[in-house]
Structure 1
């Protein structure tokens, strides 16, 4: 209804999610233009075509989809769950006579693994222990699973097929059709042994007499006796693909090569398939590999044109091909796809709108975009974005003298704030040399309320007469027993550290980013655990006391972070120096940082925005868990 109103330049109804009554109207084109502007400016919001998702809802009599998870691949009903798993497609390329370049897909082995994986995910439904009885009941009634894939880019490379080609899109669709059909065949076999899922008769798979139908009274799916209402999903594989050593999801290659900082030495890390091909064809050299790693591309005369075409990376692919590949997989997918469509920095809002409309026309259930350089915390170094930013600043020759004065004032303010931080740090270091401070009779403090995955947390930070933090007291809602004991012990240890001279900034760094199996909030408001919530409370206290200025990550060869003139907004988290990380390892990409955004909270390396999530290629951190 919304997209039809966009096309007609008309109004659309706002429906109450419970009563389905019309509560108001908005002009569709105005809302659409705001969506497009936001996506162009920041990459958010993604779009979820809820009507298309609901058209293929396997059990519409149990409810409608209202939204999807942030990564976009799994629409769910209230209290619904889905067990996800992914198959590494690159592992099924074998030497053969009929395939490209002497290689072919082992379809029989892939079929065997699809059946095993479907059986495994079906068993997980019964093995799981769910947190609420409503979840347990619905999981047992519809038995939804989501078998997906990863390593598609690796498979294309091994077969010598370019990602952004008609052949690549056709092969992607063929693979997903095979996965979808074989998973369903196994689900039918399981149904013959264990019975169909309890809601089968009224589902879109049920018999003609009782099956759910569309508005025109037509069947949505042919009748099939299935054990599971859904069997396929293409979910994010940021972490598991790193464990498996393959490319993520159905995304193209992130990079052919990068420089990895290992124990203080920069070492080239080049795609293994690329190295293998170079050795086999006789054009491998250490010097070439280093040049590729340092520059981030393979546009060198030593690399044959054929392989330059095959080893195309995410930012070298036009947005249309991203969407066409997503649509090819969506055609044979029960749920949806987690995928990012990459744009160059100079892409216009009209181009973004064109891609959103293309996704709708090709029957994608949603779309996520990312324009190079569209987020403030993106690393600016040797990539095309950094060059354009530098050229943009250099080209402003007509700036008036007043602007120069404003710039000088901003620099002086920044320097003043820097000196204030130095003074504060020196005071903290001075406190470190002392023994545990005795507690005064009276202390003043402030209490902050923070929502956590386990309830509302109240954090009180007291200060001495010099304004230095002294103690921390915490109460977690109405929690009692072991949970409250844990919270109290955490407060006591923090207080002991503060009274012993440990800087509060160090305590903050230890707490912030600790994750757990329960998370609340989205984006910058995401809280990963109770310790993370304490870190947030401390962070707010530090912002209030001295200010934490948002900074860009250090640019290679530029001598440190470059400030943004006039920027005063406090960042939700201080960017960690790129040399940190317990393993002493990070990624430094040359020329391939267009998809990077911010620092990893675990190891300090750069994050990539792909499959709708921020993820780290070094340590495996993923915003989506």
Structure 2
């Protein structure tokens, strides 16, 4: 899901990201202030090519920096659930109209808060406050309008000495909102860029920078040279480093400067309320972020200042002067130890490079390598090693597998000898360790042929047996080669030195086989098939190409088992799956499951089974369907940790605008199947039985009974609402509300069921009617408002409500009936053989 800047081809998405544990790290720092914390062997692009961080020459090497604007998030939704309502200590309920999406206005407010504002979280002084100078009147009016609207009422601006004006918005919920955005109650020297801005859309980032530079920035001029530059000053180096990266992603290069000087006293005298005089000094700590040359013009176009505050300082005299060409590299000024820290591996499959901390770096991978080492990977197509042995059916040809493994180990070792290496250092390192990585591919096709479901214990047992066999025979062959050719030169310094000598430091690895598996006509690595038919998108010099693939194994077995037909294969090609297809028995459906039809736990268990018998990492993607929840992803990560996996990659279908693999081929691929063929529904089917809770709630139109049923995993699945008598208009409205909420919960969505229900609550809450009931915290405005309260109680969202017993002090409710089409009141009753309204006198007699 993460777009990274590739120095060669603009912005491309990464294909893998996973943790690699904790390792010793170094901090690389450049003259302009760019910093990167990485492992010592991680390579950076320099004027002399890719160089490991530990081998950078301080004062001489120049590292490449991001040369063009980067990508911003397309998702405008804030990365957390926004609470809009709370109950105060006085029992009253309060509501703020807080935004749920990013906007330029929210960026402006956040920028001014970081620049000239503060946050306080103490119980009696909980507030969000902003300060404005005498030259900021227009900005004050602009921001106050937005903040008042989000707060729910206008606050009074407080006049301070020296023309300063303060805005203060009190309330825990309002403060928690800005804390969730990343604002912190810290001193000036500890400020940072709010973390959520790093994944915010472009307009929000521009708004943040515009407000921050207007609050704390200026335009400096050099009278001697007639030049000018834009400067942002702060006591926090970390804040300016974060701003530097945001600017760089807009194509604006800047330089971090240390403007600190010796401490000074008596700079400012202040008289307290009690009449005492206090004198304040300065510790002298100050940093400046400078924007020079051509980047000044880019800043003016992309960001600029708010209002006329800096207008008279403008860049008019600079805009028309010639600029020196900006350097796209920066001198290394320090490489220093950064301690043991968690590190992560990323893979970008096109350029194999990315931008991190503003610097161009090389990608990581599953194969752990030292400086100047190289990958040497091979994969055995195990789907070709299955033989039909009547009467048992199909079985693995273990003798042939052993022959192929031994031959492959010898072949990979020969590759080390004959391969021409670009540098003598690489040649020396590769031959000193002689790493190889032999793995398998075609695992899913093998299971198809054997008739074993991927999501079964039988498949896991076979996985362990197969990989243990490959690992054992591979190491034995490496030992035989050591006897024949000698062990790898670093043998005496390795962890193997006490055992049988080996020719290769590592022997086995499960590599990503996306391309070679297509060439070989088998399934990829140890993955279940992504789909029985799919499209593979590849990039070329003449643009993207789409290659269609249909599982040959499925077609062959369909013919052998007698359910093959042209109509069936056409439907499989369109859908990519056989689930629900007529004419296919249940056992076959269980075997031919695709990645999205297999629970994530089985994905992780397969990876762990192979990892236990593999020297290096295991390439495996936990492919999840589009409706997968945050809980599904969390479960996959936690299970991977418990099972001992070295890393894990989770990919939810549809999380990218474009992706490498897509289910189905041709028009209508992966879409809704013709009902005449399958009768399949868009909404999730209802299980035979569900458990839930029924709540009683008094409403303005009578007593409502709301039933919320949950799935086995505890997520809400459906809602029923009953008010009044069957056949009445009131009951029709209540039933419609329940059906619509249920539909929202059962339609496919990237949001979890709980998150969707929170959105429903946000929409229904506080909808007013003609006759509210109750008062204070128990006041119910309408049937939708009552439903929102019940749903909130069910999922623990917002205030808790009682079971429906009469609340203390609540007046007795009068009898109500159906809705009146004349006056709109719920007072139509059936009396004396006639429907009549008790409020307006309307009758149907």
TM-score, normalised with respect to structure 1: 0.48
* Largest Rg, 1 or 2: 2
| Greater relative contact order, per chain length (Cα 8 Å cut-off, separation 6+) | 1
TM-score, normalised with respect to structure 2: 0.36
More helix per residue? 1
